[in-house]
Structure 1
Amino acid sequence: MDYAHPEYLTETDWLEAHLGDPDLRVIDCTHYLPNYFDESAGRRIEMVSGRSHYEAGHIPGSAFVDLREDLCDRNNPRFMYPMPPAAQFEAVMSRLGVGPGTRVVLYDDMLNLWAARVWWMMRSFGFDGAAVLNGGWKKWVAENRPVSQASSTYPASSFVARTRPERIAKRDEVKAAIGDGATCLLNALDPEEFAGRGPVRYKRPGHIPSSVNVSFLGLLKPDTQIYLDADTLRAQFGHAGATGADRVIAYCGGAIAASSAAFALSLIGVENVALYDGSMTEWAADPSLPLV
């Protein structure tokens, strides 16, 4: 069975053939967490911009967006990557040339995580013309497709946000969902972290009670970083109870891995999905909130 929404993905051959299209905006979203799987992450998770990666080489004509500098709420230091206010998002999208009549392809050099995060933001602010490059930078380079070091910009536009608040879950909604059979709380971290083993990155180990684990690491083919076929994704999410739930709330540590899970769910037609933006960064920091 095919994806319910294949338009949410763009393939590398299509992108190369359409790089010159005047309505196309290609955006490098690369960001890094270089020590995430090291013991040092228990002390501090390093967050590094992908700008130097972009400057060293990128898809020709693409622009760069910095997740931390451009697309995080500067007034919310409690979260790792908090959603920006609408006015800030509008300004960044307008600078990138995103607006009515444009198509956007998002990519990164890190398992499609950051591209999926920006895709979720764009949908949450009412823009439906974005797609994630399947396989991202890794597949593009492996196929010997063109690379540029020239800095690129697009003509400025006028982006107007149409906020969809149902796509972002708050802490109280997550609390109410614990033990609620109609809502699937989906943890997208790796299985070891879900089980509370390894470095304690978010104040306390474990997971939110009644949540299930579908790791972001299991959504892609590791050699090509393309998303798994629709039947395999449906089986994974179905086994976790996500495909039959009235609502899915995805979370992780900082709402990045969960964005990839939410994107994969959207690919297979599960649209009643929200992202818990605070994720474990907020939840584990509050000792009154339960973890198991």
Structure 2
Amino acid sequence: MDESVVVTPDWLAAHLEDPQVCVVDVRDPWEYDGIGHVPGAVSIPFDSYRDETDVDRGTLPGADAFAELLSEAGIAPADTIVAYDDTHGVFAARFVLTALEYGHDDVRLLDGDYSAWNRDHETTSDAPDIEPTTYDPDPLSREESPLVGFEAVEAALERDAVFVDTREVDEFEEARLPGAVRFDWREVVDDETRRLKPRDDLEALLAEYGITSDREIVLYCNTARRISHTYVVLRALGYEDVAFYEGSLTEWLANDGEVERGAVD
């Protein structure tokens, strides 16, 4: 896997003393304080970088609000960020996507989660000393961003794009984009190790669904959380043509987009 996208617990352990490596814990504050965290990690809870009022696209919090969070956490634009949660990385992947969208060049997902880290590495309940920064965001342009909207998705439906729905079976059967394949985002995780499956296994698994690196891929779910994990995994595997439908099915239905319903044979 590409270490510029996903890093192993051993990689993180070897770089904890690097002052330019900032570890971000996106779990709830009670977990961070009460259960413990990776040494030196700062707490930026999931709800703090998600805004349901649509001040920006989808549930993105807005560049200034996100920059304020990073400033308070003592993070600078040149730092390497490694994010983790305790839910196989799905909430941390949303942080990765958000940071990338607002122009942070080096942000990575911890392979596994807090439980995976805790098996072999030290944890602490001590809060780190934080020296606030003045973080200046540099949001991606519409052309640079992987995020797409309703009209772009409509256009992609006319092409040979693979639409990937990462939701549960009942959600998929209730309504889905035409021709979409259902891919449970959790299938890429090894239940025993809590980490991603080996690269060859991942590529074979994705190929079973027609999700291959030579195809145009469009990801969606309901509110763009679950697809964040799939997006990061595909980037780590070297997929280049991956679009992220930030509005997802919530926006699609609000705009009376065409859907299919029912079980798939």
- TM-score bracket for this pair, using the shorter chain length: 0.7 to 0.9
- Contact 2:213 2:241 (8 Å CA) reproduced: no
1:163 lines up with 2:139 in the alignment? yes
- Residue 33 of structure 2 corresponds to 55
1:191: Cα distance to partner? 4.0
1:289: Cα distance to partner? 4.0
Cα distance per residue 1:135-194 (max 9 Å; x no partner): 110111222x2222223353222333232233111122222222421x221111234532
Contiguous gaps of at least 5 residues in structure 1: 31-49, 197-204
- Residue 77 of structure 2 corresponds to 100
- Contact 2:231 2:242 (8 Å CA) reproduced: yes
1:188 lines up with 2:173 in the alignment? no
1:10 lines up with 2:1 in the alignment? no
Matched letter for residue 24 of structure 1: V
Q: Distance in 2 between matches of 1:74 and 1:208?
A: 22
- Report the TM-score, using the length of structure 2 for normalisation: 0.87
1:253 lines up with 2:226 in the alignment? no
- Contact 2:53 2:59 (8 Å CA) reproduced: no
1:97: Cα distance to partner? 2.2
Q: Distance in 2 between matches of 1:93 and 1:291?
A: 41
- Residue 24 of structure 1 corresponds to 21
Matched letter for residue 123 of structure 2: V
Q: Distance in 1 between matches of 2:77 and 2:256?
A: 45
Contiguous gaps of at least 5 residues in structure 2: none
Decide which of 38, 46, 49 is 1:71's aligned counterpart: 49
- Contact 2:213 2:238 (8 Å CA) reproduced: no
- Residue 135 of structure 1 corresponds to 112
- Contact 1:96 1:153 (8 Å CA) reproduced: no
Q: Distance in 2 between matches of 1:87 and 1:110?
A: 27
Q: 1:238 to 1:179 in 2, by over 3 A?
A: farther
Cα distance per residue 1:33-58 (max 9 Å; x no partner): xxxxxxxxxxxxxxxxx121111111
What is the aligned length? 257
1:229: Cα distance to partner? 1.6
Q: Distance in 2 between matches of 1:291 and 1:153?
A: 52
Q: Distance in 2 between matches of 1:155 and 1:252?
A: 37
1:116 lines up with 2:93 in the alignment? yes
Q: Mean alpha-carbon deviation: is it higher for 261-270 or for 116-125? A: 116-125
- Contact 1:190 1:216 (8 Å CA) reproduced: no
1:228 lines up with 2:193 in the alignment? no
Give % identity: 25
1:147 lines up with 2:123 in the alignment? yes
Decide which of 238, 245, 249 is 1:269's aligned counterpart: 238
Q: Distance in 2 between matches of 1:148 and 1:118?
A: 22
Q: Distance in 2 between matches of 1:92 and 1:99?
A: 11
SS at match of 1:127: coil
- Contact 1:184 1:245 (8 Å CA) reproduced: no
1:285: Cα distance to partner? 4.7
Cα distance per residue 1:95-143 (max 9 Å; x no partner): 2222233111111000110111111111222222111111110111222
Q: 1:96 to 1:272 in 2, by over 3 A?
A: farther
- Residue 281 of structure 1 corresponds to 250
Q: How does 1:201-240 map to 2 (within 5 A)?
A: 205-240=174-209
- Residue 156 of structure 2 corresponds to 177
- Contact 1:214 1:236 (8 Å CA) reproduced: no
Cα distance per residue 1:196-247 (max 9 Å; x no partner): 2xxxxxxxx2211111122111011012221112122222333333324553
- Contact 1:60 1:147 (8 Å CA) reproduced: yes
- Report the TM-score, using the length of structure 1 for normalisation: 0.79
The alignment yields a C-alpha RMSD, in angstroms, of: 2.3
Q: Distance in 1 between matches of 2:74 and 2:3?
A: 24
SS at match of 1:87: helix
Matched letter for residue 241 of structure 2: N
